[in-house]
Amino acid sequence: MTLKIPRRVQLSVVLVCVLFLFGCSDGNATSQTSPVKNAENTQTSQSQGEKVGLTAIDAFIESQNIDQTKSNWKTSLPKPPQVEFESDKTYYWNLETNVGTIKIKLDPEVAPMHVTSTAYLTRLGFYDDVVFHRVIDGFMAQGGDPLGRGTGGPGYNYDGEFSPSARHDRPGLLSMANAGPGTDGSQFFITFVPTPHLDGKHTLFGEVVEGMDTVSALEKKGSRSGQTSEPLFIEKATIEVE
């Protein structure tokens, strides 16, 4: 699918930014079949915060016996069932990148499946060492492809989730890349500017609450074509519950 670039950016872009995905626009780890890195990939303010959402996700992971010794484990994962999230808890997605840290407040009320999938993949360590493969200054930073080139995904797809109140109307929004309806997966993008032309096409499921300086640092290393001036990647992703 072609992710439409705002007109002022289009004038200076040679090629239209295409969000190639397998499952969203549309893999390789340690020994045995132990699936999760829960202790290192989650931070919780209260253990009670895991009783519904994360506990349900962990139970699904344990039931699947995901073999992370396989080289392609990140691209052949089972699809998680949508889980319920506690209304009195706040879920955050923390991204430690090689240019700084970003803290994103997730929105399970508007996009429960997107938050479920993101938490599931994060608990598995899926996003660790994954690059931002396309960063367009004046537009957005896109990452989440385990292959690192814009064509990969987790091995499953799901539908978009939309709300009239969820609009791409400011910088620092977390949205899901896709190749059309029903192809959301693991690739996401963070906006640098308002992108209203994406409303109703890409699911908004979070917003940066800390680390906009890191978002700006990502933008500075991008280009009009999307190629980065140096490798940009997520060193570690964690879920935090308050």
Catalytic residue among 41, 68, 94, 142: 142
Which position among 198, 204, 218, 232 bears the catalytic label? 198
Q: Is residue 28 flagged as an active site residue? A: no
Q: Residue 25: how many CB atoms within 10 A of its CB?
A: 31
Catalytic residue among 189, 192, 205, 233: 189
Choose the catalytic residue: 68, 94, 178, 187: 178
Catalytic residue among 139, 192, 205, 233: 139
Q: Which one of 114, 123, 134, 168 is the catalytic residue?
A: 134
**Of 192, 202, 224, 233, catalytic:** 202
Please name the residues in contact with 238: beta carbons below 8 A apart, sequence gap of 6 or more.
40, 41, 42, 43, 93, 94, 96, 122
Q: Which spans in 47-129 are helix H?
A: 53-64, 112-124
68 is catalytic: no
3-state secondary structure 26-93: CCCCCCCCCCCCHHHHEEECCHHHHCCHHHHHHHHHHHHCCCCCCCCHHHCCCCCCCCCCCCCCCEEE
Is 192 a catalytic site residue? no
Is 95 noted as a catalytic residue in this protein?
no
Catalytic-residue membership of 43: no
Query: Is-catalytic flag, 202?
Result: yes
Bridge partners of 188? 143, 176
Tell me the C-alpha distance between 217 and 58, whole Å: 34
142 part of the active site: yes
Catalytic site residues? Answer: 134, 139, 142, 178, 189, 198, 202
